[in-house]
Amino acid sequence: MTGTTLDDYTDRYAQRARGMNASEIRALFAVASRPEVVSLAGGSPYVSALPLDAVGDMLGELVARHGASTLQYCIGQGDLALREVICEVMSLEGIDASVGVSPDDVVVSVGAQQALDLVARVFLDPGDVVLAEGPTYVGALGVFQAAQADVVHVPMDDEGLIPEALQEALREVSDSGRRAKFLYTVPTYHNPGGVTLPGPRREWILEICRRAGLLVLEDNPYGLLGFDADPLPALRSMVRDGVIYLGTFSKTFSSGVRMGWVLAPHAVREKLVIASEAQILCPSMLSQSAVTTYFQTMPWQEQLKTFRTLYAERRDAALAALHDFMPAGTAWTHPAGGFYVWVTLPEGLDSKAMLPRAIHNRVAYVPGTGFYGDGGGRQHLRLSYCFPPPERIRDGVRRLATVIGEELELRTAFGASGPFEAAEQSVPVIDGPRSAADTPPQGLA
Ligand code: PMP
């Protein structure tokens, strides 16, 4: 007999693998990749806006002329030329020599995602507490859960993490006899919240963390993708100590090159390099050379403006459609940059239970539950406006509004114990051709 759905290995897995179960949401996203579904789920950057011919020529040259080094291993910390480029990019957000930063403090990683995993490996023991915004980035939750850490969420409002709530969470953790290892935060153009921490709150939060001796893990993939203003100062630019900073080229250049980094105090940096060598030996030299050459030879600041304009148009399309179509009682954030809008459904609706119906109506989103480690988020969902063109976004939001309207009608007709449970079970099957280029992988980014 070949293949069975039963798992013969259950009694052999490590403890940390117990929570590694494919969710029913993953199954739905397989359906959501169909071209007839408007996907507002995945956070894939719109890389087609790059000058693809020029980038292609550049990549060809990197192999044809420099293959002896670009097709080779390199050092575990990452190539020095790229670490210099990284320092130049970080200086746009005030992270520079004035706060004690040099290429020596940077470790190149396979996207910010590997950097998150490295930090978790170096800092977290099973049962440790990590404070994180509620909601928080789904990929960070996955890392912290794999490290068997306990994520304690700190609420946000329209201006990001609430300082008083952070103080309260610190008190509660310490009253329970435990100590939080770090605060994981996405202060700028939050994923999934779409909100941004203003300057004074940044100072306040840093002060709270300094007093509590709490390390800050600042994750900043979207900082250079603001629509209305110059980049905000990163938390790391405001202090010399106490912040580990994660960056990535996924949104400013290409997510496919899988290049990110971590900036850490010297002693931590050393451990991160050792942890990374154990995982991957060294980052891809071809990808590192591609990023270095792109930033050294091509007009990347102009390209950033192109990305900003494009995403701002898509943000506008999403907000206009939400305003025009959403039923009363629905609320949403107003992102000033980045990729995401966080939607709050009318009282009593459940975004996870509603997802099959939404996909049946040819629109996909990520239910809010994906962004909480404690089962919260049912009344919320995340919409990504980064990938579909504005007309598709408008269509998608219109379809979603129809689904929400119908859910409200059902609730009125049947009350709170209506046919909502049934909706959760039925995964619709939609036939049709698939097109990978039109619909990239959904949901995890
Ligand atoms: N952090 C946040 C907040 C993200 O949104 C993402 C990806 N969407 C990542 C980290 C990981 O990005 P990458 O590995 O592509 O750099």
CATH number at residue 224: 3.40.640.10
Regarding whether 265 and 408 lie in a shared domain, the answer is no
Is the predicted pLDDT of residue 78 greater than 90, yes or no?
Answer: yes
pLDDT of 23 strictly over 90: no
pLDDT per residue as tens digits for the range 30-60: 877 889 999 999 899 999 999 999 999 999 9
| Residue 443 falls inside a structural domain | no
- Structural domain includes residue 445: no
Cα dihedral 304, 306, 308, 313, rounded to 10, equals -170
The finding on whether 141 has its CB within 6 A of some atom of ligand 1 is: no
Amino acid (1-letter code) at residue 119: V
Choosing from 89, 109, 118, 137 the residue with most ligand 1 atoms within 8 A of its CB, the one to mutate for a pocket test is: 137
Cα 384 to middle of ligand 1, angstroms: 14
Could you tell me the residue range of the domain that residue 333 belongs to? 21-48+303-438
**Structural domain tally of the chain?**
2
Q: Decide if 8 is inside a domain.
A: no
The model's pLDDT over 221-273, given as tens digits with 9 standing for 90+, comes to: 999 999 998 889 999 999 999 999 999 999 999 999 999 999 999 999 999 99
C-alpha distances out from residue 89 to 101, 237, 250, 301, 304, Å: 12, 13, 13, 10, 12
Q: Which of 113, 259, 340, 385 best tests ligand 1's pocket when mutated (most atoms within 8 Å of CB)?
A: 113
In a domain, 139, yes or no: yes
Query: Does residue 41 form part of some domain?
Result: yes
- Are 361 and 242 part of one and the same domain? no
- Do 97 and 34 have their domain in common? no
Percent of the chain beyond pLDDT 70? 92
- Measured at the alpha carbon of residue 377, what is the angle toward residues 16 and 370, in degrees to the nearest 5? 40
Q: Residues 404-435: pLDDT tens digits?
A: 999 999 988 887 655 444 444 343 333 333 44
The protein residue with its alpha carbon nearest to ligand 1, atom 7, reads 445
In a shared domain, residues 364 and 382? yes
Q: Is the CB of 340 under 6 A from ligand 1?
A: no
192 prior amide bond cis, ω within 30: yes
> How far, in Å, is the centroid of ligand 1 from the Cα of 115?
10
- Which tokens belong to 111? 């996207």
CA of 136 to the centre of ligand 1 (A): 12
Question: Can you give the CATH number for the domain in which 389 is found?
Answer: 3.90.1150.10
Provide the pLDDT for residue 420.
45
Q: Which residues, in sequence order, are bridge partners of residue 180?
A: 129
**Position 276 in a domain:** yes
Does residue 246 share a domain with residue 220? Answer: yes
Residue 64 Cα to ligand 1 midpoint, Å, equals: 31
Give yes or no: residues 415 and 377 share one domain. Answer: yes
Check: CB of residue 124 under 8 Å from CB of residue 147. yes
